[in-house]
Amino acid sequence: MTSTPSPKLPPNEMSEPTLSELHQKIDAGVRAAVAEAIERHRRLGESISILKDGQIVTLTADQIPQKPAKSQIK
């Protein structure tokens, strides 16, 4: 059995600053999505489980803090 060589990938044309900016945008998007999912659970009366001080803790909908208004986010 002969193996075929893997196709060469094009060189990465993204510089470190560009990657850093991309990572920041991805991080912001993930944080926004998680915040929205938590808020949706709170509004629908569903509990969530979180990690607090190394322990898994389940919060009821009443225990989930309300999402701050966009004007309060810095």
pTM of the model: 0.64
pLDDT at 36: 95
State the burial class of residue 42 (Cβ atoms within 10 Å of its Cβ: 0-12, 13-18, 19+): buried
In this prediction, residues 51-72 reach a mean pLDDT of 88
As a whole number of angstroms, the distance between CA 52 and CA 49 comes to 9
Q: Which residues fall within 8 angstroms of residue 36, CB to CB, at 6 or more apart?
A: 67
Over the stretch 12-59, which tens digit does the pLDDT of each residue have? 666 667 878 899 999 999 999 999 999 999 999 999 999 999 999 999
Between 69 and 13, the more confident residue is 69
